[in-house]
Amino acid sequence: MTRLITVGAAQLGPIQRADSRARVVDRMIDLIRQAKDHGCDLVVFPELALTTFFPRWWMESQDEIDTFFERELPGPETRRLFEAANAAGIGFKLGFAELTHDGKRARRFNTAVLVDKSGRQVGKYRKIHLPGHAEHEPWRAFQHLEKRYFEVGDLGWGVWKTMGGHLGMAICNDRRWPETYRVMGLQDVEMIMIGYNTPRHNPPAPDHDRLSEFHNQLVMQAGAYQNATWVVGVAKCGVEEGCEMIGASCIVAPTGQVVAQAITQDDELVVARCDLDAGLSYKKSTFNFAVHRQPQAYGMIVERKGAVPPSGT
C-alpha cells in the first residue's frame, strides 16, 4: 500500500510591523482552507510566521523585543489557527518566537512546533544555526540580530512518528548545513519541514545576492537526495519593511527533484502528494547508511568547529 501524505507549503507574503497577529492568522486560516480544498494532510508555515522578521532591527528595550514573542501556544491570538486546522482535520508546522521561563530565567528561542490532525503538539524544534551577529552593526543596510535575540536551540533535531510517517523540522539557516539533514537521516526521517526568512541582500557578502534562489534550492535538493527524504521549504517573502526576502518555496522529492514550487512572492499554497516510500530504493542502495557509512572517519566533524589549514609550506 502506498504511504501518501499530501502536503501544502503555505508560503506567506510580507508581514509589515504594523500588521496585527489577528490579520496574519486570518491569512493563515485562508491557506488552511485552500489546503483543505486540495486534500492536504499537513500544512507547513514559514519561520517566525506570526510577525515581521524583527531581527532586522537593533532594539534596546527588552519590552519592545518581547512584543514579537509568544508566551503560550496556542495563545489568545493564535487559538483560531489551531481550531481551524483541527476543524479541517489538517496537521501543521508553525514557526514562531518562543518566550519561556526556566525558573525565573527568561529564555528566548526561534522555534517550530508540529501539531497533528487532532490538534496535539507532537514535536518541537528550537533553531540551532542562528545566523547574523549579536552587536549593532550600523554599516549594514539592515541588521540580522538572531544571535542577540535568541539562544541556540537545546533540543537537537528530533524526528517524530506521526501522521503516518517519520517527520522532522529545521529552521531557515539550518538548511544550509549538511549536518542538519544527516542527524535526521540517521533517525530514518521521511519528510523534513523547513521554514525560512531569507533577505536577498547579504550585507557582508553582496556578491551572493544574485545567487540567493539558487543556493536555497541547491541545499534543499542536496539534503533531500543525500538522505533520501522529502524536504518542504517554505518562505516568508516579498518586500517586508523595505527589505526584499526571497520566495521560491518548494517541495523536493527524495530523488532530489523539485516537484512543486511557488511562483509568487506572496501568500501561496504549493501542494504535492508525497509517497513516503519514495526514498526507500535510495535507503536500500546508494544511501544504505548501515552498510556504507564510515563514522570512524568522520570524527573531525564533531571534534573541530572551524577549518584549520594543513600545516607545512
Q: Which of 47, 70, 98, 146 is catalytic?
A: 47
**Which region, judged by CB under 6 A, interacts with ligand CDT, from 29-37, 168-176, 256-264, 279-287?**
168-176
Q: What are phi and psi of 57, to 5 degrees?
A: -115, 140
Mask: binding to ligand CDT, 120-149, rule CB under 6 A, as x and -?
-----------x------------------
Q: Which of 93, 127, 236, 283 is catalytic?
A: 127
C-alpha cell at 184: 535526521
- Which residue, among 276, 292, 177, 183, has the nearest Cα to 227 in the 3D structure? 183
79-88 and 21-37 helices, crossing angle to 10°: 10
Please identify which residue in 69, 125, 150, 196 interacts with ligand CDT, judged by CB under 6 A.
196
| Residue 47 annotated among the catalytic residues of the structure | yes
- Does position 248 interact with ligand CDT (CB under 6 A)? The reply is no
What is the distance, to the nearest Å, from the Cα of residue 275 to the centroid of all Cα atoms in its chain?
Answer: 21
CA distance 192 to 166: 9
**Which region, judged by CB under 6 A, interacts with ligand CDT, from 90-98, 171-179, 253-261, 296-304?**
171-179
Compare residues 91 and 195 and give the one whose CB is closer to ligand CDT.
Answer: 195
Parallel/antiparallel/unpaired status of strands 191-196 and 230-235: parallel
SS3 state at 188: coil
Please identify which residue in 78, 86, 173, 229 interacts with ligand CDT, judged by CB under 6 A.
173
Task: State how far the alpha carbon of 307 is from the alpha carbons of 183, 300, 303, in Å.
Answer: 21, 10, 11
- Does position 202 interact with ligand CDT (CB under 6 A)? The reply is yes
Which are the catalytic amino acids?
A: 47, 127, 172
Give contact residues for ligand CDT (rule: CB under 6 A): 47, 131, 172-173, 176, 196-198, 202
